[in-house]
Chain A
Amino acid sequence: MTRAPLLSAQGLVVRYGAIEAVRGIDFSIHEGEIVTFLGANGAGKSSTLNALVSLVPAAEGQVLFGGEDITDVAPERLAPMGLTLAPEGRRVFGGLTVEENLRMGAYGVRSAEKREAAWDMVHDLFPILHERRHQFAGTLSGGQQQMLAIGRALMCGPRLLLLDEPSLGLAPQIVGQIFDLIALLRERDVTLGIVEQNVAMALEVADRGYVMAGGRIVAEGTAAELRQTDRLQAAYLGGS
């Protein structure tokens, strides 16, 4: 890993009022990698992802994406740069049709060619979305909404796609489908950053991972290494 990372964060701090959710962390994601962030509830994983896409401000630290400083860049400028997030809880636009949701995903994409390529890829990956394209997103099942959230994020042709708890609240067999999909995305060279509470699944698809506890990174390594460390267990049990 001598090349410059696609995304790197240094000393990232996120605060909500007096509460420090992320307490100065460093990490990086390289092109073509799948990196997962693990840890118990409240460890600061989602805050980290939200800070990367400026949904919450970074109180301190710096985030570089493709060599550019994006720490304070407005969220609407990130999708055109190739960075986007499929948020926790899916947050599809329930009152818009599936097709409209996907169109909105490509809102910032100027080139019609790129839009069509993304459109084809999404329809290829999720035939169900094509089938349901005229249906309101709010009427889809949880699993379909998650596919739509990921599909919508893919519509901007991202260089880095962040997934926040993609399996949360889904039935076990649907969770399997979502992870199959993540494996498919890797074949298509999409770089991914994933926050997941399903540790076993996450480590199965990921190349590397960071373990967070109390707003800090307490362990990092390849997926194989993390599967063995007891620090992972410690992070979940509340120690660090």
Chain B
Amino acid sequence: MDLFVQQTVNALALGGTYALLALGLAVVFSIMGLINFAHGELMTISGYTLMYCGIAGVPFVISVPLAILAAMVAAVAMERIAFRPVRGGSGATMLITSFAVAMILQVLFQNLISARSQAVMLPPLLSESLRIGNVIIGVNKIAAIVATVLMLVFLDRFMNRQKTGIAMRAAAEDFAIARLMGIRANTVIAGAFAISGLLAGVAAVLWVSQRASVDPLMGFTPVLKAFIAAILGGLGSLRGAVAGGFLLGFIEVYLAAFLPQELQEFRDPIGLGIVVLILLFRPNGMIPSRVLGSVKV
């Protein structure tokens, strides 16, 4: 039972990180139909910011917002430089563009920083753990869960109360008509990228705080997982992205914890098998986007 509680906390922490990443992908996808594979490189940029801040002796409470800000700025710049010229292009064109952006950034990290994994200095507090009854919970896990909840509440407020957030929901449903209302395409798209950068930045801080290292390919695996989570939840649906992220976190952590030793080698195929099985029964994901597949001028 204690093991179960412990693993559930782990699953919430990992699932929350996937959820934030999947949300970042979904916000951009819902508005402009782009699956941004360079989302992972936003994480990497955040990771390197944390690393350099650590080297420069910047206190952690300041380096965290700086790292998040770096991802936001990078996301907006990415849109302006790489994605705006292909806006309105086919989904495939935009997807390939995002691959190109990801690869260019990876090569830049490898050549300008280091191809190897670099250590990131973290406050010792993060590697401590709390003992509650018989359950031992890492501070970093608790931080991850708290940060995820805060981000989800913030995003919910933003999308439902703020004029810009409501405009983003409107644009996600019907971009052409939203523009007709006077909602500027550039504002909404830049806003979507800023939010996806914010989410990637927070996820990166959480990711790095579990590992204390950063490398040029750091963002690849979590974003691939987030992509799976977004599809599992229903591509383009924000609630679906959150649900898919948590579900994937639970599947991975529980399989790692409770699968018999001799099957552990097959953990990933079994996990993906479960994902495929869910998609067989719900081909559009758990909480499909209502607008996907509707006509857009």
Contacts and interface: CB of A to CB of B under 8 A. Distances in A.
Contact of A95 (B177, B178, B181, B291): B291
Contact of B167 (A74, A94, A107, A156): A107
Contacts of A107: 163, 167, 181-183
Interface string A68-94: 000000111111100011010001011
Given A93-B174, A95-B290, A138-B290, A55 B180 contact: yes
A93 B179 contact: no
Contacts of B182: 76-80, 107-109, 156
A94 B179 contact: no
B176 interface: yes
- The size bracket of the interface on A is 20 to 34
A103 B291 CA distance: 20
Nearest to A78: B180
Contact of B173 (A74, A76, A96): A96
A95 B297 contact: no
Contacts of B176: 55, 75
Interface in B178-219: 178-185
- The size bracket of the interface on B is 20 to 34
A156 B290 contact: no
A104 interface: yes
Contacts of A79: 180-182
Given A100-B166, A103-B166, A104-B166, A94 B173 contact: yes
B181 A96 contact: no
B87 interface: no
A24 B181 CA distance: 28
A45 interface: no
A126 to B, nearest CB: 17
A76 B174 contact: no
Contacts of A74: 179, 185
B15 to A, nearest CB: 25
A94 B290 contact: yes
B155 to A, nearest CB: 15
Interface of A: 50, 53, 55-56, 74-80, 84-85, 87, 91, 93-96, 100-101, 103-105, 107-109, 138, 152, 156
Q: Which 5 A-B pairs have the closest CB atoms?
A: A108-B182, A79-B182, A75-B179, A76-B179, A107-B182
25 contacts: A53-B180, A55-B180, A75-B176, A76-B179, A76-B180, A76-B183, A76-B185, A78-B180, A79-B180, A79-B182, A80-B182, A85-B180, A91-B174, A91-B177, A93-B169, A93-B170, A93-B173, A93-B177, A94-B291, A103-B163, A104-B183, A107-B181, A107-B182, A108-B181, A138-B290
